[in-house]
Amino acid sequence: MNLKKWVVSGVIAFILYMLFLRLTDAGFIANFIAYISLFVIAGQGWNLLGGYIGEISFGHAVFFGIGAYTVGLPVGYKLDINLLLLVLLGALMAGIFALIISYPLLRVQGFPFLVGTYGLGVVIRSIVVVTPALFATRGIFISTYSKNFTYPLIIGFAIAVVIFVQWLVNQDLGLRFKAVRDVPTAARMIGINIYKTKASAFVIGAMLTGLAGGLFALYGGFVNPSACFGDNTSIFILLGPYIGGIGSVLGALFGSTIVIILQEVARSVITVNGGHYLMVGALLVVVMMLSKEGIYPGIVKLVKKIKNAYQKRQGE
Amino acid sequence: MAILEVRDLKKSFGGLEVFAGVNISIEKDQIYGIIGTNGAGKTTLFNIICGVLRADQGSVLFNGEDISKKPTHKIAELGIGRCFQTVMPFKSMTPLENVRVARATAGKKNKEREKFSIDEIMEITNLTDKMHIKTQELSLPDKKNVEIARALACNPEIILFDEVSCGLSGEEIYSRMELMKKLSKMGITVVVVEHIMLFIKEICDQVSVLHSGKVICSGTPQEVARDAGVIEAYLGGKSNENIGS
């Protein structure tokens, strides 16, 4: 699908959502789609590093939290700053933090990188929890915009982010990401600076995740350490692209949608505290057994197989 | 002045001494062959030239500049291209994308040396019809062509070919020999590591033979084939004018 089709599809999706929002008066499903969209944005950010560079981060909640707290803190300190501006500033702050932390973190790769990002998440959450200046565990209430403004805003950003990532991965920079993932030695041999390329993906991805965090603050009207910097947030950010199809924009989109829907369905079915994780975990196991590349590439392969078999049969 | 010079290169892996003072000098626009038995260090030499490995001692000069401490990507930007013994195309990309990304990185830095457009690269590497197919779905010869195309897209001054004929049919080998001759005529210096002596004898202007950590002989392919030390190393002393042919 070329970029023009992505843009047209995005515009249609936005119009349909607006109609739905108007018809249902911002009801549960409209709310839920906005919630899913937050993880779609964050998942696309994670996918830039995890899917297109191949470095699995287990601490993207840090960037989500920075985005959310960049919106929350000025409100907590009663500073009169435009919330939308703060959302954008949150993305920028997450990017700056990623740039700083990329220097030590991206010196390692593979499992040490995963552990490093997890450790980063633990450290930052702990700092927020014990720092009164950051409102510690109390969290911050945000008097946000109306649902009729916030939800379309989130959907609009989600569509824009998906289109942006699809555009980016087909640009020279995106091709560099894939080159580094595919064969780092050969990538160096065509003049690619591995560290700078990884850092670019890390920073852009962190900005997108930070954007999701800022929008989350507007969506929920409340930020606290466990919701924004928690392990669960990191897990659900990475599970979407992982289950949907790592290194694929549509895969990450489907995956984030499926994971969040399943989580909510499981939460309503399994009433035991934390029991819904059982269902999400089971899904992960099933997906990894059936299609290690994820649901979307699995479906694409299956369709191709059926198509080939059909064409072969027609030929006979 | 030599375009590429290796001076007194020493390299060991633990207790194994791979190079004990290797000296090679490659003139511009030559097709230069490097041969040696298995484990002689031919690929290691390429790795050191490209900055993938560091030498313990000695230096590598490219156009008179010492590049032995430079990182690989900077060496590529200076104009050294490479094709690997084990093919390493960017498999998730199409051949066109492989070439595009190379043109946008080292190729961009060396724009003034551009000899081929992307379309021309696709044509001379026989990839025009396959340029939109995922590289992982291509055959081995096509994957090797993708590597050559990618190296050309960097606008290099010199290309290091590491056993580029390995796993190819006679016809495919011949087409690569013709391509190398063409590149040399167009002002791209070619360095070839090969096992097939006929390949070396057919296209190389100069050859160096690596053996036991040293260059035991350098000269034209004919001189090398007559050298007693080379015959000893390859055939254990039995003289043969047509070594490996």
Can you give the CATH number for the domain in which B212 is found?
A: 3.40.50.300
Span between the terminal Cα atoms of chain A, in Å: 31
Whether B62 has a pLDDT exceeding 90, the answer reads yes
Q: Which chain A residues have any C-beta within 8 angstroms of a chain B C-beta?
A: 172, 175-176, 178-179, 181-183, 185-194, 247
* A191 with B71: Cβ contact below 8 A: no
Tell me what the mean pLDDT of segment B147-154 comes to: 96
Identity of the residue in A175, A189, A247 whose CB atom sits nearest the CB atom of B72 = A189
Domain boundary among B156, B175, B209: B156
- The three-point CA angle B196-B199-B200 to 5° equals 95
Whether B239 has a pLDDT exceeding 80, the answer reads no
Q: B191: helix, coil or strand?
A: strand
Burial class (CB in 10 A: 0-12, 13-18, 19+), B62: buried
Please check whether residue B228 touches A, CB under 8 A: no
Tell me what the mean pLDDT of segment A67-81 comes to: 96
Residues of B in contact with A186 (CB under 8 A): 84, 88-90, 147, 150
Whether A71 has a pLDDT exceeding 60, the answer reads yes
Tell me what the mean pLDDT of segment A162-175 comes to: 96
Whether B235 has a pLDDT exceeding 80, the answer reads no
Per-residue model confidence (pLDDT) at position A115: 96
Per-residue model confidence (pLDDT) at position A1: 66
Strands B189-193 and B31-36: parallel
Tell me what the mean pLDDT of segment A147-160 comes to: 96
Note whether B189 and B73 are same-domain residues. Answer: yes
Note whether B75 and B165 are same-domain residues. Answer: yes
Whether B14 has a pLDDT exceeding 50, the answer reads yes
- Taking the CA of residue B123 and the nearest CA in chain A, the distance in Å comes to 20
Residues of A in contact with B137 (CB under 8 A): none
Domain of A152 in residue numbering reads as 3-315
Using CA atoms, how far residue B98 sits from A180, B92, B136, B150, in Å, is 12, 9, 12, 6
Tell me what the mean pLDDT of segment B219-224 comes to: 92
Please check whether residue B99 touches A, CB under 8 A: no
Per-residue model confidence (pLDDT) at position A228: 95
DSSP code for A119 = H
d(CA A279, CA A267): 9
Name the nearest CA neighbour of A62 among A107, A127, A1.
Answer: A127
Name the nearest CA neighbour of A209 among A65, A104, A69.
Answer: A65
Tell me what the mean pLDDT of segment A70-75 comes to: 97
Note whether B102 and B180 are same-domain residues. Answer: no
Residue A93 has, within 13 A of its CA and on its CB side, a CA count of: 22
Question: Looking at the domain assignment, is residue B11 inside a domain?
Answer: no
Note whether B119 and B239 are same-domain residues. Answer: no
Question: Looking at the domain assignment, is residue B186 inside a domain?
Answer: yes
Question: Looking at the domain assignment, is residue B7 inside a domain?
Answer: no
Identity of the residue in A181, A185, A193 whose CB atom sits nearest the CB atom of B52 = A185
- Which stretch of A232-236, B173-177, B193-197 has the lowest confidence by average pLDDT? B193-197
* A191 with B92: Cβ contact below 8 A: no
Q: By the 8 A CB rule, do A30 and A24 touch?
A: yes
Per-residue model confidence (pLDDT) at position A292: 78
Note whether B193 and B91 are same-domain residues. Answer: no
Identity of the residue in B92, B147, B151 whose CB atom sits nearest the CB atom of A182 = B92
Note whether B111 and B134 are same-domain residues. Answer: yes
Residue given tokens 């830039």 in the structure block: A48
Burial class (CB in 10 A: 0-12, 13-18, 19+), B29: middle
Domain boundary among B156, B176, B204: B156
Domain of B122 in residue numbering reads as 87-156
In chain A, the DSSP E strands lie at: 140-141, 222-223
Tell me what the mean pLDDT of segment A285-308 comes to: 86
Note whether B200 and B127 are same-domain residues. Answer: no
- Taking the CA of residue A224 and the nearest CA in chain B, the distance in Å comes to 41
Whether B244 has a pLDDT exceeding 50, the answer reads no
Note whether B174 and B233 are same-domain residues. Answer: yes
- Taking the CA of residue B144 and the nearest CA in chain A, the distance in Å comes to 13
Question: Looking at the domain assignment, is residue B228 inside a domain?
Answer: yes
Tell me what the mean pLDDT of segment B150-164 comes to: 94
Q: What is the DSSP string of A213-258?
A: HHHHHHHHSEE-HHHHH-HHHHHHHHHHHHHH-TT-HHHHHHHHHH
Residues of B in contact with A191 (CB under 8 A): 73, 76-77, 102, 105-107, 109, 154
d(CA A54, CA A201): 10
Give the domain CATH number at A306. Answer: 1.10.3470
Question: Which one of A183, A189, A193, A197 makes the best mutation probe of the B interface by having the most chain B beta carbons within 10 Å?
Answer: A189
- Which stretch of A296-300, B159-163, B194-198, B225-229 has the lowest confidence by average pLDDT? B194-198
Per-residue model confidence (pLDDT) at position B206: 94
- Taking the CA of residue A187 and the nearest CA in chain B, the distance in Å comes to 8
Q: What is the DSSP string of A141-186?
A: E-----HHHHHHHHHHHHHHHHHHHHHHTTSHHHHHHHHHHH-HHH
Mean pLDDT of chain A: 93
The percentage of residues in chain A with a pLDDT greater than 70, rounded to a whole number, is 100
Tally of structural domains, chain B: 2
Tell me what the mean pLDDT of segment A6-35 comes to: 92
Mean pLDDT of chain B: 91
- Amino acid (one-letter) located at A87: V
d(CA A211, CA A154): 10
d(CA A87, CA A212): 9
Q: By the 8 A CB rule, do B142 and B125 touch?
A: no
The residue ranking higher by pLDDT, B235 or A243, is A243
* B88 with A190: Cβ contact below 8 A: no
* B90 with A187: Cβ contact below 8 A: yes
Per-residue model confidence (pLDDT) at position B129: 95
Note whether B166 and B241 are same-domain residues. Answer: yes
Q: By the 8 A CB rule, do A244 and A255 touch?
A: yes
Per-residue model confidence (pLDDT) at position B243: 47
Q: By the 8 A CB rule, do B215 and B56 touch?
A: no
Please check whether residue B153 touches A, CB under 8 A: yes
Query: Given 3-state DSSP classes, what are the helix, strand and coil percentages for chain B, each rounded to the nearest 5?
Result: 40, 25, 35
Q: Kindly state the helix (H) or strand (E) to which residue B19 belongs, with its residue range.
A: strand B16-27
Backbone angles phi, psi at A292, to 5 degrees: -65, -25
Note whether B177 and B223 are same-domain residues. Answer: yes
Question: Looking at the domain assignment, is residue B242 inside a domain?
Answer: yes
Domain boundary among B130, B156, B182: B156
Note whether B163 and B74 are same-domain residues. Answer: yes
Tally of structural domains, chain A: 1
Identity of the residue in B73, B81, B153 whose CB atom sits nearest the CB atom of A192 = B73
DSSP code for B56 = S
Measured between CA atoms, the residue of chain A closest to residue B78 is A191
The percentage of residues in chain B with a pLDDT greater than 90, rounded to a whole number, is 72
The residue ranking higher by pLDDT, A184 or A26, is A184
* A188 with B81: Cβ contact below 8 A: no
Note whether B218 and B97 are same-domain residues. Answer: no
Residues of A in contact with B106 (CB under 8 A): 190-191
Whether B245 has a pLDDT exceeding 70, the answer reads no
Question: Looking at the domain assignment, is residue B19 inside a domain?
Answer: no
- The 10 Å Cβ neighbour count of residue A162 is 23
